[in-house]
Structure formats: C-alpha cells, structure tokens
Amino acid sequence: MKKKLAVYPFHKGLMPLLLTESELQKFELMYAVVPKGWESFDEVDDTKKALICDEESFFLNDLINSVDVLLLCKPQFQVDESGYCRLTSLAEEKGKHIMYVAELKTILNQSTIEGWECLNLEHPSISKQNALASIDVPVILIMGMGENCGKWNLQLKLSENFRISGYKMSLISSNALSRLWGYHTIPDSIDSNDLTFSEQVESMNAYIKYIEQAENPDVIIIGVPGSILKYSTSVPNGYGYIPFLISNAVTPDITILSLYNGNYDESHLKEMKSTCLYKYGVNIDYYHISENVCLYNPEARQLEYYSVDYRDSMENNSYSQEGLYTFNHSNSTSQEEAFRRIMSELQNNIPMI
C-alpha cells in the first residue's frame, strides 16, 4: 500500500510531483503545501489543483492527520528555518515520518534533522575500469545553464514520452527526487575528493555501463547537474566541473541545452553551441527555453528565480533550422514536435520493442 505524502514548500519547480503523482512508486500525493504569498497555480486543472493547499489551511484543518510522510524540499524562494520547524514540529508530534532532500542540510539545524530520512542521490557500488567502456545504446544528454532552468522537468517529460511510445528507457537524473519514480540518479560520489579526475570519469562511465547491461534499455537519458558556465565571479556555478566530467565519461548521440527564459538571437545560440563544442566536446542539437528567469540579488548575495508564462518564452525564441531548434516543454505542440524530431533522429539506432 502506498504511503500518503505531503510536500513542503511546494513551488512550480516541483510540478512533476503534482502532474505525474499517479506514477510515484511508493507514495500517494495528498497535499502540495504552498507557503503564504508564494505562487498561484491557475494553469493547473481542477483535479490536480485539489491537491494544492496553502500553509495556513494545512494547519487549520489538521491535514497532517491525513498523511503518513512529510517530504521537505529545497525552496525556490527565500525561506528561513522557522517555516520548516513549524511544520516538522507538528509532524513529529503526530508521529509522522519526515523525509528531506540533501540540499536542506545547509538550512536546517543538524541536531533537528537527526532521525529523519535524507533523500540522497544514489550510492552505487560499482567497480571502475581502467579504460572507458563503450556505451552501446543511444545516449541523450540534458545540460543546463544552472539550477531551476527546467532540466528536471524535461528529463521526466522526455522519459515519459519514450515509455509511452513503446521504448525501454533508463533515466540517470540530476535530481534526487527522481528516485520517488524509481529512476536512477547521478551517483553521490561523482565528484568525490577521494578520487582523481580520471577516476571520477572512469567511475561515472562504469556506472552508465552497469545500467546499460543491467536494464538493457533502448535509450539512456542523462540529466547533468550544475551549469555549463559560471554566472559571475561571485557565483561560479561550480565552474562547469560536473558537466565537464560527465561529457568525458560518455559520448552523447543527442544533447539538449536547457536555458533560462530570455530573448536569444541566432548569434547567442551559436555562441553557446560553440562553447559546448570546444569546452565539453558535445554538439548542442536542441535548445529548451524554460519558464524560469534567473537574477542575482546583491543584498542576499545569491541567485533568485521566478516564473513567466511559457508563451512569453517562445514568442521571440522560435528557431527551427538544423542545429538551432528551440522548444518549451509546457507548450504541448512545441514539445511534441521536438520529441518527434529526437525519435526520428534515433529511429535507425533504436529497435522497437
């Protein structure tokens, strides 16, 4: 029997939990709890909208009694520890199981989270080889400009599309939440200080090969954590280290670059294409224009994100020539055409099941 789940704090970056909640392996989503003053979800249909509730209603109506598990996620907007503490205190009082994503370790008090379950990235025990193994099925790499640029949603949408079309696929996701659907994630030891760069590359390659041999998929989709570029000198975005590592571990057949919302002319797209080719050795085949805007807050000294209508994101960013194809996953027509093109490119390499 599936355990009843409440998610906090819910925001548009967590929409896959709402839109594909029926596919969660061990959980039934009961409530997506939104803090006061956060986003509205007018675009969500009434059936799904019934699962969304504001934080005060969750308390006033004692909705905690209707769930078994409280899942704490990373906020998209500024939130302090008190917002979490109020809810977790109630959950503990009612004897509810509490899960949290690893990114919250820097927000929550370490003594507070003791005894809770951390939803970590996968921790495989794979023996690396001294040489890179050949990956003998098509690989789709999904890279991005940083956090909250739509990579995760795109990974799940593309995986679902292959599955519905009759293909067997394996997803190695950049987001630990993907484990709720039973998908793999990037290993938690990918950039371990105990390994040299060469060993990190070999370990990642061995992990991909292990999944290929164990699951025999028609296609492997890999979501790449982090950003391909630093945002600024004060926000280095990991200097593109993990994208460089993964692009050395596997040669993709198709690469998608997920961008923040903005106006991109042809020269800008070509510049990013050249950057990825010469820095990472990958050719960008598709550009995904997300609904999220990324801005630097100098007072908080951090990046902040907010969403815009997807129609705004595509109005000035519609390219369909070879090598400069843009799409948005929230626009069904745009998404379907992009996925159709991707399948068409791979159809000579992927036999139907």
> For residues 150 and 144, is the Cβ–Cβ distance under 8 A?
yes
- The H or E element containing residue 131 is none
Query: What domains lie within the chain, and their CATH numbers?
Result: 3-119 (3.40.50), 139-346 (3.40.50.300)
Tens digit of each residue's pLDDT (9 = 90 or more) over 177-207: 999 999 999 998 898 899 999 999 999 999 9
End-to-end CA distance of the chain: give it in Å, rounded. 31
> Quick one: tokens of 48?
């799904």
What is the pLDDT at residue 275? 94
- Residue 146, sorted as left (phi over 0), alpha (psi -120 to 50) or beta, turns out to be left
Q: Which of 30, 90, 32 is nearest to 62 (CA)?
A: 90
DSSP one-letter string for 187-225: -TTTT-TTS-HHHHHHHHHHHHHHHHHHH--SEEEEEPP
Round to whole Å and give the CA distance between 129 and 123.
18
Residue ranges of the chain with per-residue pLDDT less than 50: 351-353
